Amino acid sequence: MQIAIKTSQKVMQVLSAQLVQHLEILQYSTNELEQFIYDKANENPLLVVTDAAVKRQYEEISQLASYSVKSFSSRYYEPKRNSFNFVEMGLAAKESYERFLLEQVPLHKNLSSMDLKILTFLIQSLDDRLFLDVDVELVADKFQTSILHVEALLDLLQTFEPVGVGARNTKEYLLIQVDRDELAPNLTYQFIQDDLELVAAQAIKQLSKKYKTPIHEVKNTVNYIKNLRPVLSGDKLEAIPYIIPEIEVEKFDEEWLIKLNRGYVPAITIDQHYVEILKNDPNCKTYFQDTMKDALLLIQGIEQRDKTLYEITRLLVKLQEDFFHQGIEAIKPLRLKDVADILGLHVSTISRAVRGKYIKTTHGVYALQTLFTKGVMNSSGKMDSIMYIKKRLKQLIEGEDKQKPLTDQLITKILSGEGIQISRRTVAKYREEMNIMSSFNRAYG
């Protein structure tokens, strides 16, 4: 009986190590995965890494060599107008944060010339942490507009990458992260908003008593907050990695084609020379087994990452087909749990897979998380779909006094009176997604 128990525990530990490695790799963006591969190669002599740029050059040369002279035709020289040209995007070793943020502006439509001026000014007014270093009142005065108008554009800036850009303080920086995470514990927002000091002091019992919540739930919430991204530090002119879409989706005839962008991930092979040396050395038997296992785990983890991303994208193409045809205005309500249930995966796996990932469509480049929208619990305890809330928001704007358009704050209050509890930032986000201008531009634009 004891032998059976020990054997079971050993198997669980092996599976756990493999699972942890795969989940870790799954959550990495292309930039993060590249760094992770190089870190692993420095630790493991069996791993040989070919730089992504060198790999691309080799692939291009091989592709050219595969064509005979007679097989070439003018179509091989025609530029692909819709291709995603990273060179033209200015993918370089060092780029300033301003350019990185400004290149995200065109993804948002219906911005007036005044909006663009204010948004550019806000981007230029960020400090070394990428926090806003100017009062919105001063910005409103400078551009002779309302504070609500400036705050609406600040809300838009706070949806940009990297997460937390445009925050006015540490508390808001953390809240922006929570807003983006569908899996955040229920009390996270309140803990940060009202009791960040107690969270920092890990006053578990005090928080449990105040919120009448079990201690284990409070611990989970506190641990979640502790694991949020730390405040950005360092010189703001330090290079910020460019957005590299992990996935490209395009229509070919009547079929959607899905392509995983592996061109910017280094190639990995196992050094056979070192394998023979370590394998034949009796003193290195354990070391060889450990390094080989680690190398295989890395390769398998990357393959599993690609497979998971492909399966998620294939399902998203089916569930969000209107989005791929028409763009962001046709997005449908979709939860991480919906995708997890269909694919037979844990919701946390889906969350890790879409974190920090981008998808290129015919309408532009979007964060993969954009394709997921959650419902909102109303005062009666039922879940209102995002589609319903957007429809109601549109109705309110269509029925407003054209001389006195409803501000996002007033819309928030009206929806709250109807039992729909959402923030002004969320109202601004939904309005932007529907390509509806701000109240300032609806009155004067």
Claim: this prediction has a pTM higher than 0.75: no
pLDDT at 312: 94
Instruction: Identify the pLDDT of residue 92.
Output: 38
Dump the DSSP string for 140-207: HHHTT--HHHHHHHHHHHTTSSSTTTT-SSHHHHHHHHHHH-TTS-TTHHHHHHHHHHHHHTT-HHHH
pLDDT of residue 121: 93
Nearest-CA neighbor of 49 among 65, 64, 60, 37?
A: 37
In a domain, 435, yes or no: yes
Verify that 370 and 394 share a domain, yes or no: no
Residue 338 domain-assigned? yes
Domain boundary among 130, 157, 184: 157
Cα–Cα distances (Å) from 399 to 149, 427, 440, in that order, read 20, 17, 16
CB atoms within 10 A of CB 271: 15
- In this structure, are 330 and 262 located in the same domain? yes
CA distance 315 to 386: 20
* Within a domain: 120: yes
Determine the Cα–Cα distance for residues 85 and 68; give it in Å rounded to an integer.
26
As for how many domains the chain has, the answer is 4
Q: Is residue 163 part of a domain?
A: no
Same domain, 355 and 277: yes
CA R_g for the chain: 25
C-alpha distances in angstroms, 307 versus 30, 40, 204, 312, 368? 15, 21, 40, 9, 16
Task: Provide the β-strand partners of residue 47.
Answer: 270
* Residues 247 and 368 occupy one common structural domain: yes
Same domain, yes or no: 262 and 358? yes
Sheet arrangement for strand 247-252: 255-260, 247-252, 358-361, 364-367
Domain of residue 217 covers: 170-226
Residue 364's DSSP bridge partners are 361
Q: Which of 370, 269, 274 lies closest to 316 in space, CA to CA?
A: 370
Note whether residue 318 is domain-resident. Answer: yes
Q: In this predicted structure, what is the pLDDT of residue 138?
A: 93
**d(C-alpha 312, C-alpha 340), whole Å:** 9
In the 8-state DSSP scheme, what is residue 144?
Answer: T
Within this chain, do residues 199 and 136 fall inside the same structural domain, yes or no? no
Clarify whether residues 196 and 257 are in a common domain. no
Check whether residue 381 and residue 369 sit in a common domain: no
Does residue 286 belong to any structural domain of this protein? Answer: yes
Buried b (16+ CB within 10 A) or exposed e, 411-426: bbeebeeeebebebbb
**Do both 10 and 105 map to the same domain?**
no
Same domain, 115 and 62: no
Per-residue pLDDT of the chain (445 residues; tens, 9 = 90+): 454 444 444 444 444 567 777 788 888 888 788 888 888 888 888 888 877 554 444 444 344 344 333 333 333 333 333 333 433 333 333 346 777 788 778 766 667 888 889 999 999 898 878 899 899 999 999 999 888 788 888 888 888 877 788 999 888 888 888 877 777 888 888 888 888 888 888 888 999 998 888 999 999 999 888 888 777 654 444 445 556 788 999 888 888 899 988 777 888 888 888 888 887 888 888 888 888 888 888 888 899 999 999 999 999 999 988 888 887 667 777 888 889 999 998 888 898 898 878 888 887 778 888 788 655 555 554 445 566 677 788 889 888 888 888 898 899 888 888 777 788 888 888 887 777 888 888 875 5
pLDDT, position 421: 73
CATH of the domain at 408: 1.10.10.60
Residues 315 and 420 in one domain: no
State whether 176 and 190 are in the same domain.
yes
Find out whether 142 and 177 touch, Cβ atoms under 8 Å. no
Last residue of a domain, one of 349, 374, 399: 374
What's the pLDDT score for residue 89? Answer: 37
Please write the tens of the pLDDT for every residue from 229-258. 777 654 444 445 556 788 999 888 888 899
Distance from C-alpha of 26 to C-alpha of 351, rounded to nearest angstrom: 10
- State the sign of the Cα–Cα–Cα–Cα dihedral 181, 187, 190, 194: negative
- With CA atoms as reference, report the closest residue to 154 among 442, 439, 429: 429
**Which residue carries 């420095």 as its tokens?**
42
Torsion over CA: 150, 156, 162, 167 (sign): positive
Query: Could you report the per-residue pLDDT of 80-119, keeping only the tens digit for each?
Result: 333 334 333 333 333 467 777 887 787 666 678 888 899 9
Q: Rounded to whole angstroms, how far apart are CA atoms 325 and 318?
A: 11
Number of H helices, E strands in the chain: 20, 8
User: In 3-state terms, what secondary structure has residue 93?
Assistant: coil
